[in-house]
Amino acid sequence: MVDRHPMTAHSHRFLQEELARLKSVERPKAAKAIEVARAHGDLSENAEYDAAKEAQGMLEARIRDLEAKLAGAQVVDVSKLSGSRVVFGATVRAADVDTGDERTVTIVGEDEADADKGLISYNSPFARALIGKEVDDIAKVRLPGGEKEYEVLEVRFELTGPVGGND
């Protein structure tokens, strides 16, 4: 049985496109590189052949990884979500109760997380504390240094940008 994990529809499309490119473009390139290296003679001392085989192995591992992620994906279309409760896919603005410092984060799948872009995994302590909360609720986040409290200021549903893409 495949473990199911939530993934935004945007990220699912991105991974499908990457998988298609790896299979249709990169895989034939890797096979050609092996063929060219093999033509150089003795394979026992052929560094070019060894490098091409290693690159092919890494490519095939990435293809298997993507296939597994896509097979286990529970795709969530954020554009179809609504409501006032924090769930997977929500963009949340919250304030530290002690300092008033605000943070805005979007709760996404593990493979989509990028803290620099405000994309946090649904398994992160902050996301786990926020999920299920509504505006004006207090989320208690357990951290190694103790507990922090955040007040939920806003909940909206919009993916903030390309996941995994170059922006």
**What pLDDT does residue 166 have?**
37
pTM: 0.75
Domain 5-75 coded CATH 3.30.360.10: no
Question: Could you say which of 3.10.50.30, 3.40.50.720, 3.40.50.1100, 3.40.50.970 is the CATH number of the domain covering 80-156?
Answer: 3.10.50.30
DSSP strand E in the chain: where?
5-8, 73-76, 91-96, 102-108, 119-121, 138-143, 146-156
Q: What is the pLDDT of residues 36-63, one digit of tens each?
A: 988 887 777 788 999 999 999 999 999 9
Nearest CA to 76 out of 90, 62, 92, 86 is that of 90
Residue-wise pLDDT tens digits, 113-166: 999 999 999 999 999 999 999 999 999 999 888 999 999 999 998 765 444 443
The model's pLDDT over 86-106, given as tens digits with 9 standing for 90+, comes to: 999 999 999 999 999 999 999
Domain boundaries, the chain: 5-75, 80-156
pLDDT at position 2: 61
